[in-house]
Structure 1
Amino acid sequence: MKSRVTAFRGSKHFQLKHVTDHVIAAIAIPGTGSLNNAAISDLGDTTIVVDTFLTLQAASDLKEAAIYLTGKPVSYVVNTLWHSDHISGNQVFLPEARIILTTASHEIMDTFSRQRLSQYQENIEQMVIHGRSSCVQLLTFGGGHTQSDVIVYIPEEKLVVTGDLVLSKHHPVLTNANPQEWLHILEQIEQLGIETIVPGHGNICSLRELREVKDYISDILGLVAKAMQNKQHIDSLEVPDKYQGWSFTTYFKSNLTKVQTLISAYEDEQ
C-alpha cells in the first residue's frame, strides 16, 4: 500500500502518510476543507475510515483515496467525536458504509446536525472489527474532550487514532471538555502500550505528544486555580512559553474561561 500512497493523485485538502501496513493517515492541510486529520485502515477484506473532515469536497477526496489505496469500498466510518470537523463528510460514504459512533455522540449529532446527517449506526461501548489480515478495536473510556470520545486501536501495530484527545503541537480545545476525565482517559491510553498516534490535529506522533497534552491540561488547571486564589483576573494570564509555538492559540483564553467556570461551579456545590 505504500507505493499506492505515492501514486495517489493527491488532494488539496490532505496529505497521505504511510504509517503502518494497515494504516494510512490523511493529515489535514491548513486552510482547506479538512481541518482535522483522518485515517484509512485496510484490514485485508474490510476498509475503515476514521473521521470524515469538515467539507463534502474533502470527504469525497478521502473516499476516493480509500478506494484507490485498498481496492475496496469503505465498509465502516468511525466518528471519534461529534464535532463538525470530524463528521460533516459522513454522508459521502452512505449508504455503502456503516457509520459507527457512541450512543451519546449519536444523540448529540441527532440534535445539532439533523439536517446534515441522515443515517447512523450506533455502537456498543467497545467493539472489534475483524478483517482477513488485521483487526481494530474501537474503545471508549467515556468523555474527556467531548461528552463521548472514541479511539481506534490496532494492538498488533501498537497504534491508536485518537481524534482530538491527542493533538500534536496544537492547543487542546476545552469547550465541551471535562479536563479531569480527559487526563484519566489519556492515562488509560498510555497503558495500551502504543508507540504511534494519529492525532486529531498535527503530525503523526507518539506518547511524547500525548504527555504534552496531559501537561497542557494540568497547567491550565493550575494556572486558573492559582489566579482565582490570588484574585487575579484570568485575562491577564499569558500563554506559557512552552506552548507559544503551538497552533490554535486563540483557544487559550477560552480554555481559561472554561476551567474557571468549572472550578466556580465545583466550589458552589461544596
Structure 2
Amino acid sequence: MNPEFSSKHFTLKKVRDGVYATIAKEGSGSVANAGFVDLGDQVIIFDTFNTQQASDDLRYCAEKIINRPVTLVVNSHWHGDHIRGNQTFKDCAIISSQMTFSKMKDIHPKRINKQKKDIRGISAYRQSLENQLHQSDGDKLKHQINSLIELEQSLPTLELVLPNQLYYKEITFYGPKRSAKLFTFGGGHSQCDSVLYLPSDKVAFMGDLLFVNCHPTFFQESNPEKWIEILKKIERMDIEVAVPGHGSLGTKKDILTLMNYISHLISKTRKDNNKEEVVMPTIYNEWTSPEIYQENSKIIKEWLILNSKQ
C-alpha cells in the first residue's frame, strides 16, 4: 500500500480500478473488513469498521485515492464491527435494510452506554491481559490487548449513527464508471445480510456472509440452512472476486468452501449429538480462530433442537 495511505487498522487491496477492499489488521480498531467503490460521480463505502479512528482512516483513504468525497455508505448488517464507525460519515447517505436499521436502533444504544459506563472495567481487564504477557509472548494475546486499547480510545466520543435511508430487497446505484447493486436475500449470518454487487467488475462485497480462511461466527440469530441457500444464490452469479467480512480476498471457491463447512457442521453435530465436543476435521486446522469451531457446534446443536420442536 502506498505509504501516503498506510493505516494501522487495515491493509488496502486494489480489486479493480476504482474498487478497493480494506482488510482488517489483527489487534486494530477495524475488527472486520470494509471497502469503497468509485461510481464515477460518487463514492460508496461498504461497512465502517468497529471504531471511529479506523473509519476516519477509511474515509481519508477513500477520498484521497478517488479524489472525490464519499456520498453513500452501506451497512451490510447490524453487528458492531460493521457499523460503529458510522459517525465518520454523518454527512453522507447511510443505507441499510429495514431489519438492520431496527436491530441497530434496538440493541446498540444500551450496548454502547453499558461499555461507556464500564471503561474502567475494560481497562482493568486489558491490564490483566498485559500482566499475562510476562508468562506468554503469544501474538493472539497481544492482538487482544491492542483491540481493547482501540476500544477504550473510541468509547468517550463514540456515538451511534443510524442509517438514514432504507431499501427493500434491492436497489441499484448508477454512475458513469459502473453500477452497483445492493441486495439482500434475507438473513443467514445475521437476521438480514446485504451484499453489494458490481456486475461489470464481477466483484461482490459480501459482509459476514463470507469468511475466508477463518472460522465463521455463528450467533443465536444465525440460520445455517438459510445461510447455505443464500450462498448458493450468490455462487450462481458472475463473480470473480468476493470481499469477505473477515479474512483475505476470496473467489467462488471460497463461497463453496464455506457452504461445505456449514453443511459439514450441521451433519457432524447431528451425528455426534450426544458428545460434549465435536472433533474438528484437520482440513480446518490452518484456519484462524479454531476455538470458534466448538462454539459454532454448540449453536448448531441448539438450532437443531429448536427446529425439531417446530
TM range (shorter): over 0.9
Match among 278, 281, 286 for residue 245 of structure 1: 286
**C-alpha deviation, 1:119, in angstroms:** 3.6
Match among 32, 35, 41 for residue 31 of structure 2: 35
Counterpart residue identity of residue 283, structure 2: K
Deviations 1:188-207 (A, max 9, x none): 00111211111111111101
SS at 1:248 equivalent: coil
CA distance in 2, matches of 1:180, 1:170: 20
Going from structure 1 to structure 2, the CA distance change for 1:40 and 1:118 (only over 3 Å counts) comes to: closer
Q: Does the Cα contact within 8 Å between 1:35 and 1:53 map onto a contact in 2?
A: yes
* Counterpart check, 1:134 vs 2:134: no
**C-alpha deviation, 1:32, in angstroms:** 0.6
**C-alpha deviation, 1:28, in angstroms:** 0.7
Match among 173, 179, 195 for residue 224 of structure 2: 179
CA distance in 2, matches of 1:161, 1:135: 14
User: Bigger CA drift: 53-62 or 245-254?
Assistant: 245-254
Match of residue 222 from structure 1:
267
TM-score (norm 2): 0.81
Match of residue 236 from structure 2:
191
**C-alpha deviation, 1:7, in angstroms:** 5.5
Q: Does the Cα contact within 8 Å between 1:45 and 1:132 map onto a contact in 2?
A: yes
Match among 142, 157, 160 for residue 117 of structure 1: 160
Counterpart residue identity of residue 107, structure 1: S
Percent identical residues: 35
Counterpart residue identity of residue 204, structure 2: V
CA distance in 2, matches of 1:177, 1:127: 24
SS at 1:54 equivalent: coil
Match among 3, 11, 22 for residue 7 of structure 2: 11
Match of residue 72 from structure 1:
68
Q: Does the Cα contact within 8 Å between 2:211 and 2:247 map onto a contact in 1?
A: yes
Match of residue 154 from structure 1:
198
SS at 2:173 equivalent: strand
Unaligned ranges ≥5, structure 2: 113-158
CA distance in 1, matches of 2:25, 2:305: 38
Counterpart residue identity of residue 256, structure 1: S
Match of residue 260 from structure 1:
301
SS at 1:35 equivalent: coil
Q: Does the Cα contact within 8 Å between 1:41 and 1:48 map onto a contact in 2?
A: yes
Deviations 1:160-199 (A, max 9, x none): 0000111110111111310000000000001112111111
**C-alpha deviation, 1:250, in angstroms:** 2.5
Counterpart residue identity of residue 186, structure 1: L
SS at 1:16 equivalent: strand
CA distance in 2, matches of 1:41, 1:236: 43
Q: Which of structure 1's runs of 4+ aligned residues deviate more than 3 A?
A: none
| Aligned-residue CA RMSD (Å) | 1.3
CA distance in 1, matches of 2:160, 2:168: 20
Q: Does the Cα contact within 8 Å between 2:188 and 2:226 map onto a contact in 1?
A: yes
Q: Does the Cα contact within 8 Å between 1:22 and 1:134 map onto a contact in 2?
A: no
TM-score (norm 1): 0.93
Matches within 5 A, 1:90-109: 90-95=86-91, 97-109=92-104
Name the structure with the higher helix share.
2
